[in-house]
């Protein structure tokens, strides 16, 4: 099956590691809330979920038991492609981040370089990138390359030239734009990044952090790209209007996609596009 070109891959990133539950009680931080969110977002048109989990105190965690239980619960309740974050929080040590693949997700995020991240640093040294990439090849987990900056595009080129294609042979990237410290969330930056992508890239999506969310979504649709949305990336629908549920963000891009004559990709089509290993 080839995936028709009018299909729109919608990834939902419902939780992230940056927002405190106390500040945003509607953020899905428990397993029950995450599964409920995933179900509703799948029904609305999402085909992949980018997952960060929390502990009992709602703090970010990379606890392997919890990650494994989360993957299992999401598989049981949905048909979404389950992508675990290997980025974690800016405070997670690299060794813990390498262990994420032990939870046997379908896919994982893989950030292509170190980025200033607000007042913090999101650390991704080259030896860590190469180790994680080779691990993903060995474990047959499809990576999504997270590109926060133009320099990360160059690093992706180097990675593919040195270590070959990912498991499954497809190269899917996500442009994460508008992080304070990374590339801005503008149409101009998106066009520059897309123009620089290596030839091996078979699909790409984009997400704009905070207020850049709409500019990036519209630019991505204009360039034929896919979309990631969710409360990891944006907490308001408009100035002073909080997101009450991730499904609102999915609904909104389904509608934008409809206007751009794009049809939400099914989970089966997403598995085909990304060549996810059947598990
Ligand atoms: N939480 C950020 C520090 C990823 O998930 O791979 C990193 C992040 C990227 O969210
Ligand atoms: Zn993330």
What domains are defined for the chain? 7-274 (3.20.20.70)
pLDDT digits (tens, 9 = 90+) for 78-100: 999 999 999 999 999 999 999 99
Radius of gyration of the chain (CA): 17
Q: What is the pLDDT of residues 179-198, one digit of tens each?
A: 999 999 999 999 999 999 99
CA pair distance 35, 195, nearest whole angstrom = 37
Residue nearest atom 1 in ligand 1 by C-alpha distance: 89
Ligand 2 centroid – CA 16 distance (Å): 5
For the chain, how long is the longest CA-to-CA vector? 47
Q: What separation in Å is there between the alpha carbon of 85 and the centre of ligand 1?
A: 6
Statement: residue 24 has pLDDT above 90: yes
pLDDT band (50, 70, 90) for residue 40:
very high
Percentage of the chain modeled with pLDDT above 70? 100
pLDDT of 1 higher than 90: no
Residues with CB under 6 A from ligand 1: 16-18, 85-87, 89-90, 109, 111, 117, 122, 146
Quote the distance between the C-alpha of residue 110 and its chain's center. 9
Residue pair 51/70 in contact by the 8 Å Cβ criterion? yes
Handedness of CA 93, 275, 36, 234 (dihedral sign): positive
Structure tokens at 277: 């290993």
Q: What is the mean pLDDT of the chain?
A: 98
In this structure, which ligand is nearest to the CA of 111? Answer: 1
Which of 14, 15, 16 should be mutated for ligand 1, with most atoms under 8 A from CB?
16
Q: What are phi and psi of 139, to 5 degrees?
A: -85, -5
**Cβ(183)–Cβ(189) below 8 Å:** yes
Looking from the CA of residue 86, the nearest atom of ligand 1 is: 6
Q: What is the pLDDT of residues 126-174, one digit of tens each?
A: 999 999 999 999 999 999 999 999 999 999 999 999 999 999 999 999 9
């Amino acid at each position: 099956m080839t995936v028709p070109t009018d299909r729109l891959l919608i990834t939902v990133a419902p939780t992230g590691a940056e927002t405190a539950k106390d500040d945003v009680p509607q953020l899905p931080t428990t397993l029950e809330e995450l599964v409920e969110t995933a179900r509703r977002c799948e029904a609305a048109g999402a085909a992949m979920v980018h997952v960060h989990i929390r502990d009992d105190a709602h703090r970010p965690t990379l606890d392997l038991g919890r990650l494994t239980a989360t993957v299992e619960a999401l598989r049981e309740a949905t048909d979404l492609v389950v992508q675990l974050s290997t980025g974690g929080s800016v405070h997670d040590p690299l060794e813990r981040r390498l262990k994420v693949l032990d939870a046997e997700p379908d896919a994982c995020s893989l950030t292509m370089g170190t980025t200033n991240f607000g007042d913090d640093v999101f650390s991704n040294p080259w030896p860590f990138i190469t180790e994680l990439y080779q691990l993903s090849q060995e474990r047959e987990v499809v990576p999504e390359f997270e590109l926060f900056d133009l320099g990360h595009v160059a690093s992706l080129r180097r990675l593919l030239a040195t270590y070959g294609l990912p498991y499954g042979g497809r190269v899917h990237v996500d442009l994460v734009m508008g992080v304070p410290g990374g590339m801005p969330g503008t149409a101009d930056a998106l066009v520059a990044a897309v123009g620089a992508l290596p030839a091996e890239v078979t699909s790409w999506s984009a997400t704009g952090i905070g207020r850049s969310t709409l500019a990036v979504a519209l630019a991505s649709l204009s360039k034929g790209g896919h979309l990631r949305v969710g409360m990891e990336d944006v907490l308001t629908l408009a100035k002073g209007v909080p997101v009450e549920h991730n499904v609102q963000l999915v609904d909104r891009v389904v509608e934008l996609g409809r206007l751009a004559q794009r049809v939400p990709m099914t989970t089966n089509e997403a598995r085909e596009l990304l060549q996810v290993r059947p598990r």
